[in-house]
Structure 1
Amino acid sequence: MNIAALLTSAGINISVCVVLFSLYSILRKQPSNFNVYFGRKLATRCSKNIDLCLERFVPSPTWVMKAWDTSQDEILTIGGLDAVVFSRMLTFSIRVFSVAAIICTILVLPVNYYGRNRIHKDIPFESLEVFTIENVKAGSRWLWTHCLALYIITVTACSLLYSEYRTITNLRLVNITGLPPKPSHFTILVRGIPWSSEESYCEAVKKFFTYYHASTYLSHQIVYRSGAVQKLKDDAEYICKMLGDSLEQTCKPSMVQCYFCGGTNNFKIICNEIDSIHARSGYTDIHIDSRKKSAFVFFKSRYAALMAARNLQASNPMLWVTDQAPEPCDVYWSNLCIPYKQLWIRKIVTCVASITFVLVFLIPVTFAQGLTQLDKLEKMFPFLTDILKKQFMIQLVTGYLPSAILVLFLIGVPPVMMLLSAVEGPISRSGRKKSACCKVLYFTIWNVFFVNVFAGSVISQLSVFTSITELPAQLAKAVPAQATFFTTYVLSSGWASLAFEIIQPFPLFCNLFQRLVLCSGEDSFNGTVTFPYHTEVPRILLFGFLGFICSILAPLILPFLLFYFFLAYLVYRNQILNVYITKYDGGGHLWPIVFNTTVFSLLVAQIIALGVFGLKRSTVASGFTIPLLIGTVLFNQYCRQRFLPVFRNNAAQVLIDMDHRDENCRRMEEIYDQLHSAYCQFNTSSSQTDCFSYAGDRERAQSLQIPEDMETGKEIIQQELSWPVHR
């Protein structure tokens, strides 16, 4: 591939970006698209009677300035700690690759270009291999520049990683200690409750915890299969009919919710007292769901709940299994009643399914790589010989089509991984998304990098898998040859994906279809979705992985990569502010994934550089790379010991201090009253829309809501879009 082919790919993607970004700046101003580009709440609470003016149909960069000026505190208020982690991940990438681009442009690129005594062509017709380390002759004294650049990039990345880890850890602690009480701190989830024909599950839970946790146990709530809601309602009507009208008369206004009064429309949960009614009447919860029960158990203090969640409760580890409960809005109800003994089978099944999916995906990856080798393509398809002789078609096929085809195949990966993660049995929505994020990350790194490298230049050599010790040398031969493909992949999967992300094609199409074809009301389309961390985090980490590996091998990738991170910083902040609704917050649990992947990227880059220096017979560069490897491993181990435990568990010291603070303020009784209404199993509307009322400060929750006052809502629209609104 030559520079002209790379510029062809860049030109196509730049054109797509310019068109879609301009179209977005126009579409977001149209009243009919408010529920697509500003969320359902902003769309329904603001007037749609907008003055017709020319400015509505002229592209404008106001959204760019708004995204740029937004502070971290505003991102934290609107999107939660996960959004802050995502934003800081982009900031980290911009900083580290800015340093890498400057160093590699000054030191590495000239050495690569003039590495051999050869006559250079005009720049547009130069092969991209001229700008890679392949062009440096073996034994060259100038390879020390590559080693020095690798040292600078590694030290910069580790320094920034440490700073970000410390900052995000402090934010997580502030998120725990500086906000009003969270129900999850007082609650544990109990699974593996033993079944008994002599007593109900409710009685079994109460008997166990009042005996073994007598001083700290508060109450509990049985969890029923969420897929049998209608069945539960029928059971409620049956009990009401069996107990008679006296139940309705005994319901007190002070209770959190009426049990069964008001018919099935008011039925929310079956709480503890109803379970006791089951036991007294002989109508036990065996009828509702046999041997698959879980329960939320509430404690009088945070520390007591923490100890109960951590400790083994019974001599049989498969019974009375306890975990810290997720936040009410984060509970993944459909998985709570999965038998605990079944979880390990589910994990094995999902692991096997993931591996099978990876192996099946080798077909499109190999096909995409075949497009980069024109000679083989002509042999397989002789009728394309005349077409492939044209210069533009050569540039299009080698510079754009391979990466574009691979991107199209990768679109279906995140939904599949999300499905597998749901089958795996996580108890929280954030846990499901985190699991899917890891699966997509492993999948993309393996298929986009390793499989492309081996399929493109190594898999034809039978000796590639003869010894694991030869892997660095094989990667050292293959990666520089495939660096040009990775550069075009950044253009196709990076720049173009951001353009499609901001235009929201699927919600926009659904909105237009409902309005124009189905003639539905203007607010009938619900365009609100949560942020797709499981797709965007792996994409950004993959680009960082490619950037670290190719920084000294093929520095031409760095300018394109740096522009992607700048653009992503603006686009994703705009989406967090306007498009995505935060229904739950994972508390920054994505950052350890970012840290581990970045360290892994540095180690792989150093191993490949070690292999390249060995092939180039540079003893000095190889010798200085080994201490860098050891230092990176030690840095990773230190950070894991220093910061990672904070993300895995809450500190007992912190929770005890919070308990003492609430006791001194006499707020414990108020907290106990809120616990009973927090975990409302079938009240999905409250669990989805009032997330931060449970997860943190109610003032923060109110700032997330668009004001009910119509005039205030119109002021927000007017300020956001900067054009007149008809009152």
Structure 2
Amino acid sequence: MDIPALLTSAGMNIGISLGMFSLYSILRKQPLNVKVYFGHRLAQGRKRNENFCFERFAPSASWIRKSWQATEEDIFACGGIDAVVFLRIVIFSIRIFAIATILCTFLVLPLNYMGDGMKGTVDTTPMDLLTIGNVREGSSWLWAHCFTLYVISACACTLLYFEYGNVARMRAEQVQRFPTRPSNFTVVVRGVPWSSVESYSESVGKFFSNYYASSYISHQIVYRFGAVQQLMEDAEKMYKVMTTVPVLPSIPDKQCCKPNAERCGLCGARSNSFKKVDGGSSLTSHRVGDELREKECEAALVFFRSRFDALVVSQTIQSADPMLWVTEQAPEPLDVFWQNLCVPYNLLWIRKISVFIASIVFSVLFLLPTTFVQGLTKIQYLQNAFPFLRGVSDRSYINLITGYLPSLVLTVFLIIVPPLMMLFSTLEGRVSRSTRKRSACVKVLIFMFWNVYFSNILSGSWIERMGKLTVTSPKDLATLLAELIPRQASFFMTYVMTSGWSGLSFELLQPVPLVGNWLFKCVLMKEEDFVIPMTFSFHTELPRVLLFGLLGFTFCILAPLILPFLLIYFCFAFLVYRNQIMNVYYVKYQTDGSYWTLAHNATIFSLILTQVVAGILFGMKKASGASSCTIPLIICTALFNVFCKNRFLPLFKNRAAQEAIEMDRNDEQSGKLQEIVDNLPKAYDQFVLCGDQMQLPPKEDDEKHSDKPKKSGGSSSSSDSLEELEIVQLEDLSGDLTQSEAEEKIVPIN
């Protein structure tokens, strides 16, 4: 790709981004769109002014100012700890790539341009002159690249260490902030053995009352999700039968007036009528009980008297057969994914293998659009094989085809990846919505690293060499990557602009809810709401941020021109995501910051890959000293990763028994423990949680189910429906009141 094509792509994306940002600043002020852009929080204020106002149709940057001024406590109150951790990942990227941009722009980039190593080389583009490939072999200037690599790696590891510690501290504070979570006292049991003489519920009760008699309280069996509504209907029918007095045949007055201790004392009443109802209700109860047993699953929620007891049971093997009586800490009530609790535990391994194979097949099939995208950027290399392309390469719009179109096509194809990976994670049998989304995030990240990064590099190089690209060993692959990565820098620059800059503008504009709301309100003339508040798409946004981090690290010394494009993206991402978290997205469940471990591992992988590629490239440039110096750097980075895993990772996998015991003692001394235990069965009522698809979250002052702290500045929550919430006047909404300025309203979500 040459410079005109890159400039064409930059112009297109800059125009789209500025247009979308301006359009958003206007649309967010319109009354019709208030629930699209303020679904999380509808502020209360003065009476709305319905008169025409020019400011309503003029672009403004007030949302940028409010996003910048919001504190971390405001973000926590609106989005929880996961939102804070996500923004910390963005802040980490801003810091490290600001350092890399300064170093590489003023030190590495001039050396690459003045290297004169590509003079007289065939098929050299002006963009190649800005890469490390233009440095002469054996040049002492390569020591500057090695020094820059050391500085960037040291800064990245230092920032990672402090951020890891901060996130671990926040997780510990999260436990202290919400001590009455029902999940602290509840354990999920799967793999309950089948018995021909007793139901699953009876088996669970007998097992835990036998082995945990002092701590076991009760349990709740899980029913098949599709049968929950039917069970509720059966319960209603049983209630009607039990409360309805049947009409009995007339009985002689002599028998009616006969003295009886069970008579009601009213004239005409028959004492034996109650006996008839009891008999009928008993038969009905047995019949419904049999139906309930048929719909039981081999899973249950077991409640214990203390946090420590639940913690011990969840981390202990209950049986000599590891496939039976499998226990784990229960998720929060609104986080439970009831459908997957009904999946037999002994079938999970088959599902996981099937999902693994399906993921590989999908990744292989995705090579077709990847190769097509690279074919668009390498049209000049395909002219010999396809003569009809010679006419296309001479057209005036060739810069649009080779510059903007490839990244746009790849971005469009990638839209299907997050929903598909979410489906794969659902089929794996995750028992909570948060772990399902995190699993989808891992799958999307691996897919992006392979299909967006490695596949584009290899397929683009294969097209350049017209099928003569061969790899016979891992050493050949590493050497090939070191040679080919700098040549793909221009394509990834356009991808950062298209998927990053323009992607942020579309994230801000919310085109699908916006158009749907217009059609629903204006065309179909519906009174109910089209827009339903959504949870934040970590499985879509976090992989994109980490992919751009991989691009930044691997290209920082090889092709540093990409760094300013990345830094612009991360700065805008910081503002856009803060705005969306405070106004658009709703928090229903949390992973308590577990996304940080994923970001840490991805960053370490990016650093080591960068160091390996740089070391091989130094060797290819006959700079043996610089190449040898990368070996200690690789070892130190790997040891740093091991240290962080030993120091912090256990805090993300397990809970500390010391904290659980101290919290139990405090609650027991204050008399709150018994009250908490008594409310546990109500919190995990499957009939309530699954029967109402628009289940409202509890208020913030009821910390049993809430993941948000109760702020002292007058902020409060409400479980009112969307229709019952008062909308603030347009001028106040356009100002986007912060958490300390307005009363927050929580809206329902499925």
Q: Tell whether the structures are fold-level matches, with TM greater than 0.5.
A: yes
Cα distance change of structure 1 residues 479 and 294 upon mapping to structure 2, 3 Å threshold: same
Deviations 1:111-168 (A, max 9, x none): 1000017889xxxx97110100011111111000110110011001000000100001
Q: CA deviation at 1:669?
A: 1.4
Q: 1:691 to 1:309 in 2, by over 3 A?
A: farther
Checking the alignment, whether the CA contact within 8 Å between 2:128 and 2:487 is kept in structure 1 is yes
Matches within 5 A, 1:568-579: 568-579=573-584
Match in the other structure for 1:457: 461
User: For residues 500-522 of structure 1, what are the alpha-carbon distances to aligned partners after superposition, in whole Å with 9 as ceiling and x for unaligned?
Assistant: 1000000001001101211112x
Alignment of 1:453-532 (within 5 A): 453-458=457-462, 464-521=470-527, 523-532=528-537
Contact 1:365/1:451 (<8 A) preserved: yes
Partner of 1:672: 677
- Contact preservation (8 Å) 1:46, 1:713: no
Question: What amino acid does structure 1 have at the position aligned with 2:400?
Answer: L
User: Could you list the per-position Cα deviations for residues 180-225 of structure 1 after superposition, in whole angstroms to 9, with x for gaps in the alignment?
Assistant: 3110010000111122232222222111111100111111111111
- Listed one character per residue, the Cα deviations across residues 214-257 of structure 1 (whole Å, up to 9, x for unaligned) are 111111111111211232124324543665559xxxxxxxxxxx
How big is the shift at 1:641?
0.6
Between 678-687 and 52-61, the greater mean CA deviation after superposition: 678-687
Larger Rg: 1 or 2?
A: 2
Q: Which residue of structure 2 lines up, in the alignment, with residue 109 of structure 1?
A: 109
**3-state secondary structure, aligned to 1:395:** helix
Q: Distance in 1 between matches of 2:505 and 2:151?
A: 33
1:415 is paired with a residue whose SS is helix
Q: Please state which structure has a larger fraction of its residues in helix.
A: 1
Match of 1:264 in 2: none
Residue in 2 that maps onto 1:585: 590
Give the equivalent residue in structure 1 for 2:159.
Answer: 160
1:22 corresponds in structure 2 to: 22
- What residue in structure 2 maps to residue 207 of structure 1? 206
393, 397, 412: which is aligned to 2:397?
393
Structure-2 separation of matches of 1:664 and 1:644: 33
| TM superposition shift of 1:306 | 0.5
| Cα distance between partner residues in 1 of 2:67 and 2:539 | 22
**Structure 2 CA distance for aligned equivalents of residues 59 and 289 of structure 1:** 61
Once the two structures are TM-superposed, the CA of residue 285 in structure 1 deviates from its matched residue by: 5.0
Determine the structure 2 residue equivalent to 1:660. 665
1:267 matched residue in structure 2: none
Where 1:137 maps in the other structure, the secondary structure is coil
Larger displacement relative to structure 2 (216-225 or 167-176)? 216-225
Q: Distance in 1 between matches of 2:84 and 2:106?
A: 33
Match of 2:58 in 1: 58
Counterpart pick for 1:437 among 419, 422, 441: 441
Deviation at 1:490, TM superposition (A): 0.6
Contact 1:583 1:691 in 2 (8 A): no
TM-score normalized with structure 1 length: 0.90
> For residues 492 and 96 of structure 1, do their structure 2 counterparts lie closer, same or farther at Cα, with a shift above 3 Å needed?
same
Gap change, CA 1:70 and 1:717, over 3 Å in 2: farther
CA offset at residue 280 of structure 1?
A: 8.2
Equivalent residue letter for 1:449? Y
Equivalent in the alignment of 1:363: 368
2:42 aligned partner, one-letter code:
L
Instruction: Tell me the distance in 2 between the aligned counterparts of 1:172 and 1:510.
Output: 38
The alpha-carbon deviation at position 51 of structure 1 amounts to 3.3
CA contact (8 A) 2:142 2:626 kept: yes
Amino acid paired to 1:240: Y
- The yes-or-no answer on 1:412 pairing with 2:425 is no
Q: CA distance change for structure 1 residues 711 and 465 in 2, over 3 Å: closer, same or farther?
A: closer
Provide closer, same or farther for how the CA distance between residues 14 and 704 of structure 1 changes in structure 2, counting only shifts above 3 A.
farther
Instruction: Classify 1:46/1:510 alpha carbon distance in 2 versus 1 (closer, same or farther; 3 Å).
Output: farther
Q: Deviations over 1:330-350 (max 9, x none)?
A: 111111111111111110111
- Match for residue 609 of structure 1? 614
C-alpha contact 1:45 1:706 (8 A) present in aligned 2: no
Q: Structure 1 residue 465: deviation in Å?
A: 2.4
Pairwise CA distance, 1:43 = 8.5
Matched letter for residue 575 of structure 1: Q
Which one-letter code corresponds to 2:209 in the other structure? Answer: T
Moved more, 358-367 or 280-289: 280-289
- Judge conservation of contact 2:103–2:148 (CA < 8 Å) in 1: yes
Cα offset, 1:374, TM superposition:
2.1
What is the CA–CA distance in structure 1 between the aligned matches of 2:530 and 2:283, rounded to whole Å? 42
Q: Which residue of 2 aligns with 1:327?
A: 332
RMSD: 2.8
Please give the alpha-carbon distance, in whole angstroms, between the structure 2 residues aligned to 1:380 and 1:487: 28
In structure 2, relative to structure 1, the CA distance for the partners of 1:4 and 1:625 (3 Å cut) is same
Amino acid at match of 1:623: S
Where 1:220 maps in the other structure, the secondary structure is strand
Work out the CA distance in 2 between the residues paired with 1:469 and 1:10.
36
8 Å Cα contact 1:433-1:534 kept in structure 2:
yes
The letter of the residue matching 1:57 is F
Structure 1 residue 700, shift from structure 2 partner: 5.5
User: 1:54 Cα shift?
Assistant: 0.6
Evaluate the alpha carbon distance shift between residue 485 and residue 574 of structure 1 in structure 2; reply closer, same or farther with a 3 A threshold: same
Q: 1:355 to 1:288 in 2, by over 3 A?
A: same
CA distance in 2, matches of 1:72, 1:539: 23
Residue of structure 2 equivalent to 1:632: 637
Asked if residue 719 in structure 1 is aligned to residue 732 in structure 2, the reply is yes
Change (3 A) 1:285 1:596: farther
Distance 1:370 1:518, change over 3 A: same
Please state if 1:551 is matched with 2:556: yes
CA distance in 1, matches of 2:301, 2:623: 63
Structure 1 residues 146 and 690, CA gap change in structure 2 (3 angstroms): same
From the superposition, tell whether residues 505 and 559 of structure 1 become closer, same or farther in structure 2 (CA, over 3 Å): same
Q: Normalized against structure 2, the TM-score is what?
A: 0.87
**Residue of structure 1 in register with 2:150 after alignment:** 151
**Cα offset for 1:384?**
4.5
Distance 1:318 1:711, change over 3 A: closer
How far has the Cα of 1:716 moved from its partner?
Answer: 7.9
2:565 paired residue number? 560
Shift of 1:713: 5.4
Query: Cα offset for 1:438?
Result: 0.5
Residue number in structure 2 paired with 1:260 = none
The corresponding residue for 2:274 is: none
Paired residues of 2:238 and 2:285 also in contact (CA < 8 A): no
Q: Report the 3-state secondary structure (helix = DSSP H, G, I; strand = E; otherwise coil) of the residue aligned with 1:292.
A: strand
SS in 1 for 2:218: strand
* 1:40–1:527 CA contact under 8 A, matched in 2: no
Q: Summarize deviations over 1:68-112 as a string: whole Å, max 9, x none.
A: 111111101110000001110100000000000001012100110
Counterparts of 1:67 and 1:495, CA distance in 2: 18
1:649 — aligned with what?
Answer: 654
Deviations 1:267-306 (A, max 9, x none): xxxxxxxxxx999837545655456331110101101001
Distance 1:601 1:119, change over 3 A: closer
- Residue 259 of structure 2 corresponds to none
Q: Contact 2:168–2:651 (CA<8 Å) still a contact in 1?
A: yes
Give aligned pairs, total: 689
